[in-house]
Amino acid sequence: MRPLVTLVALASVIGSAAYAETPLERGSYLVNTIMTCGNCHSPKGPPSVVAGKDFSGGLRFDVPGVFDVTAPNITPDKETGIGTWSTADIKKLMLTGVPPDGKPIAVMPTGFYGILLPSDLNAIVAYIQSVKPVSNKVPAPIYHVPIKQEVIPWAEKPIDPAELTDKVKRGFYLATIGHCMECHTPREKGELVLSRMGAGGQQFPGPWGISVSRNITSSKTKGVGAWTDAEIKRAITQGIDKDGNKLNGPMGYAYYAHMTNADLDDVIAWLRTVPAKE
């Protein structure tokens, strides 16, 4: 009897050790998977050109008459990155979309980040402050209209950690900080139509032509309601749809590919609860 008990005890120690991440590990995991920061902030191009340039500035978003902004260098480089920002400056930007110069920024989905657990927000900021400084100056933003942060009613305050024992709530939390619905909800006059959450229909021009975000509600005919879990997982992590066709950007498939299976399962469990929209 004795050895068995010891083995079971040991197994549970190993089991919990596998989940004990340091804040930097947690920050790295969130930034490099579900939150896809690099999908916007890292340069795109042939790998030899961009190797070692992670987070040093990336995509340009040019909406004529509205703004022309480039995702800045967020490495700790003091001249061209955010090396002179305080921890509080970065946290404020993450939660309000307002940088130290007081001019609200565009594009970055900060309206979804209010739901972050304080521990996760701290981990993300600590990780970003720990990456290698890279010198790379990106063009300054141009705003033709005043920018205001999107209000996402379900993301205005940190989630209650007690809710995260529930699989669907965990999926909801991850999908919120992953801003899935910022791309997958239609916009009218630039504003998200939240009553049609998940119905898709936004256009994304890019090197791939124009992709249109799809309906990812639980609708069996228009959404992913009739897809298996494995099919949804393949779409998210490999960019291949139910019929085997390749999906285009800007969705960050390669980032989601590094999510844990458990986290992917939770996101899918939540997607299944998103009310069907035709």
The one among 95, 168, 204, 272 contacting ligand HEC by CB under 6 A: 204
- Out of 214, 217, 234, 277, point to the residue binding ligand HEC (CB under 6 A): 214
* Chosen residue from 115, 159, 199, 224 binding ligand HEC by CB under 6 A: 224
DSSP at 107:
S
Q: Is 192 in the site for ligand HEC (CB under 6 A)?
A: no
Task: Check binding of 105 to ligand HEC (CB under 6 A).
Answer: yes
Cβ–Cβ under 8 Å, residues 274 and 225:
no
Tell me how far, at minimum, the Cβ of 16 lies from ligand HEC, in Å.
27
Read off the tokens for 211.
């992709």
72 binds ligand HEC (CB under 6 A): yes
Q: State the helix-helix crossing angle for 118-130 and 23-32, rounded to 10 degrees.
A: 80
Per CB under 6 A, the segment of 42-50, 99-107, 154-162, 186-194 that binds ligand HEC is 99-107
Burial class (CB in 10 A: 0-12, 13-18, 19+), 225: middle
**Distance between CA atoms of residues 49 and 45, nearest Å:** 7
Peptide bond into 250 cis (omega under 30): yes
234 interacts with ligand HEC by CB under 6 A: no
Nearest alpha carbon to residue 128 among 50, 73, 175, 79 = 73
For residue 184, the number of C-alpha atoms closer than 13 Å in the C-beta half-sphere is: 21
Output the smallest distance, CB 6 to ligand HEC, in A: 41
Does residue number 154 form part of the binding site for ligand HEC (CB under 6 A)?
A: no
Q: Which of 26, 27, 43, 71 binds ligand HEC (CB under 6 A)?
A: 71
User: Which residue number, 46 or 128, has a Cβ lying nearer to ligand HEC?
Assistant: 128
Q: Is 251 left (phi over 0), alpha (psi -120 to 50) or beta?
A: beta
CB of 48 to ligand HEC, least distance (A): 24
Nearest to 123 by CA among 35, 27, 21, 22: 27
Segment interacting with ligand HEC (CB under 6 A) among 11-19, 129-137, 153-161, 230-238: 230-238
Is position 133 an interface residue for ligand HEC (rule: CB under 6 A)?
Answer: no
Q: Which of 32, 36, 218, 219 binds ligand HEC (CB under 6 A)?
A: 36
The reply on whether position 211 binds ligand HEC by CB under 6 A is yes
DSSP 125-186: HHHHHHSPP-----PPPEESS---PPP-GGGSSPPPGGGGGSHHHHHHHHHHHTTHHHHHS-
Residue 253 tokens, joined: 């498939």
Min separation Cβ 65 and ligand HEC, Å:
15
Helix (H) or strand (E) run with residue 211 in it: strand 209-212
Size of the residue set binding ligand HEC (CB under 6 A):
48
What are the residues binding ligand HEC (CB under 6 A)?
31, 35-37, 39-41, 61, 69, 71-72, 74, 82, 90, 93, 99, 105-109, 124, 128, 141, 175, 178-180, 183-184, 204, 211-214, 216, 224, 232, 235-236, 241, 247-248, 250-251, 256, 267, 271
